[in-house]
Structure 1
């Protein structure tokens, strides 16, 4: 971990187990929705007692919390390069049977996407805004490329967006399918590969998948005083004031346009977000003496 990491995350000096509580050697984590494991310990949420319970950002922003996670606005930027000790991965590919990776060498913006949570038996891809229980969350998207046998109809129909795990082909087999030895594996090569020498292709329906895998982020939390950027405000996502520099892709999220669009257009840069902390001492107002 970089020595200056405390400059990038307000929780940098918080002990890990304060959020990731442990019980019987089980460390708090996000619990897969399809899990049958009964001993999982869930990681604390932002509004847990002793954390940020009761904090208000005003009626309009608080109403957003029904569909938006706190991190969505409080992780506006992620560190690239070696700020955190190692550059975060941007993509990986097993297309040619050997692992090829790219990394974020500079700071980057997380992707905002709909999600219901994580699964053991599904790929972490974007959910639909119309699914019950979805929330808008911040993710580090990692583009993954690999060959699939093409046995799953959903994968064949929608290879790049299906959440199905499918039937990945082993990298060693992919590499062996490179019949001309040029280091590049083509569709015809993998589909005609006959590894068991029975004169029948082993993977006649093989398909190359390019999937944006969404990994939810919870670190690099910013405040108005600490972080790589200020927390998002209304005009980062809505209104004419953010035109050309929106933090959110409304089309990607399933909207035809900004759902807060008004006629005439609203300048959301004028909107302030108040913060009320339970038990906080009121701001003292200086006044002239009465006498």
Structure 2
């Protein structure tokens, strides 16, 4: 989860007075009660992708009734929109940080990379801020992968602790944040979130099950003879820098390139030859098309660096 709004109780009281009870009737506009009642679908059925694209109407996949079933009151909506720069993602944000987001990648491989990067970022953020973790994995039936924990952006000593869940099924990734404002008879957070995530998967049963495109690939290559004393390159999706030592030449590696919402990414590769006078060169390509290249030359060093707009 990237965003959230946390309100202290006094502010919350004022907002509720201004907004009403938050039980609006529109599935997308207010996320209110479903037309069928008791968790039934609204008129026309649960919202589905349109021409393969997720829409803000899909915020209506979870209703206030669904939350109330677990004893939680979801407050009025703040925003329901497509995510800026992301190729196919929707974010649904409510007062006090209840949130639902959906992301659909062209392939299950791409979604798996996105899911893994998100979990890695979650662990690192909690560790950097010395926050506790109750991480549990494989918590949602019908999903390929899932994890549950405290909310990444929450505060360690907050009175109202938030929780989150992330779920991947094929090329679909679903994330839900549960605010720390609890109802009097609210069930435990893991039960609430696993139940809500299960409802989302049930209501869009075919989404994510079949690949709709391809996973883009970035290839990093170093040309030359003998060995490279060092090769350094950055992962195009996570940005992680990898350093290799004493590498036999020629060398190349292929990495998936996933559009996770950034407008541009920096592709970087540099290499140092084993001997100062050896000729060495480099090349970075995406889907077989060269992005930046340096022909082998004597001098013992090669550098390829180029900003790149991720394909959608």
Q: Same fold (TM over 0.5)?
A: no
Superposition TM-score, scaled by structure 2 size: 0.22
User: Which has the larger helix fraction?
Assistant: 2
* Bigger RCO (CA 8 Å, 6+ sep): 1
| Structure number having the greater strand percentage | 2
